Amino acid sequence: MDAASGEIVDGHHRQRALDALRHEGVKVADYRDVRAFADDDERLAFVLAANLFRRHLDRSQRAELVAKLRERGWSVRRIAERLGASVGTVHGDLASGVQDRTPERIEGADRKSYRAHRPAPSVVVTSQRAEERARAALATLGDQAPGRLLALKDAERLARAVSYRTLRDSATPTTRASGEAWELRCGDFAQVLGEMEAASVDMVLTDPPYTDDFEERWADLAEACARVLKLGAVFVAYSGNHNLPQVIEALTAHLSWLWHVVLVQPGQESRVMSAHVHNGHRDLLVLSAGPYKAKRWLRDTLTSKHAAKDKTLHPWQQAPEAPHYLVDLLCPEGGLVLDPCCGAGTFGAAALASGWRFVGVDVDPTTLGIAAERLRQAAPGDGAENGDAS
């Protein structure tokens, strides 16, 4: 409670619970923590800390609190003292974001105003090639580079995020676009595929989201693709690892299981914290619409030659080698390739490069605009036209 105004600053839910118990005749102690705040700024800081800084918060939530206090002009030491955290922890939280929101002047724990210290961003490297990569990353980040020592991979990750945001800001959203051998449609895949002619697609190659909320859509995806695929045509989907059994169960409810391909990705290892696993591959699930008659040998272990992550067109962008290989091997010559979750059009570019036709679907008009420009570059001079832009 604020000693000056008598207002409850934090604990409204607890107070309502106490009032309800008293109304029912239950005797409860009237415990309150009365605090004197120096000013509204101090009061706001307490409210933020009381509501956001809990032991169960993850790093991103804690960093949100730290960023808000820093934006209000609090020094790192003052934030650390208020939140009961170390100075190093606060520095780490401030550095976790791309854009520095530190004002020109900050207020220290002694309540005096100081000019904010903005350390220069730097990257430690051990080779000339790494130096070139570091320079390129810092040039891309510009004034959005966090003021701290960065690992090269972190600098490049932040640079990719900035490049992607810049690309989205300049992209032209579209609901439909087409060229001589390709077409893009905006919307939910179930609706768009429902409008397509049955048994008209020679191959599905797609990389759906690996998020938990998409797990229930895998069966819908399999059902929609089974309708538009020709008899015996192949369905290939990239999949995450954590829910692989559920994904396979959903797909095999409508499609016939063929095989499991492993795509090894050198230099792209990630840590799956829930399972304590170092993951360095992608799972590719191969199924078919009805009986499949194999005509060529399929390798079930592929290796990506792209060691660095190229995510400049989309956060989930995949390397191009595997799509090229799979389309060439599994799609009939000159056939129609469908990607119902096409993103920035990586699989469409692979299909066009091999002389195949392509139809892509995505729910995001801006992403679809990026894909349209990419496919125009993959098939130049084909008389591409935009549909309705929005």
Q: For the chain, first and last CA: distance in Å?
A: 51
Orientation angle between helical segments 244-251 and 218-228, nearest 10 degrees: 30
- Which amino acid appears at position 321 of this protein? E
What pLDDT, on a 0 to 100 scale, did the predictor assign at position 268? 67
CB 91 within 8 A of CB 80: no
Residue 177, H or E segment:
strand 176-178
> DSSP readout, 359-370?
EEEES-HHHHHH
Which tokens in the block code for residue 59?
């790093």
What pLDDT, on a 0 to 100 scale, did the predictor assign at position 389? 40
Task: Give all domains of the chain, ordered by start, each with its CATH number.
Answer: 37-115 (1.10.10.2830), 122-170 (no CATH), 176-386 (3.40.50.150)
What pLDDT, on a 0 to 100 scale, did the predictor assign at position 115? 66
pLDDT digits (tens, 9 = 90+) for 352-382: 988 899 999 999 898 899 899 889 987 755 5
Using a 10 angstrom Cβ sphere, with 0-12 exposed, 13-18 middle and 19 or more buried, the burial of residue 301 is exposed
What pLDDT, on a 0 to 100 scale, did the predictor assign at position 386? 47
CA dist 134 and 102 (Å) reads 24
Residue with tokens 């893009």: 184
- 5 — pLDDT class (breaks 50, 70, 90): low
Res. 388: pLDDT tops 50: no
Torsion of CA 330, 334, 336, 337, to 10 degrees: 50
In angstroms, how far is CA 172 from the centroid of its own chain?
A: 21
pLDDT digits (tens, 9 = 90+) for 95-142: 655 455 566 666 666 666 666 555 667 787 788 888 898 888 888 888
pLDDT digits (tens, 9 = 90+) for 180-197: 999 999 999 999 999 999
Res. 150: pLDDT tops 70: yes
Query: CA torsion sign, 306 to 309 to 314 to 318?
Result: positive
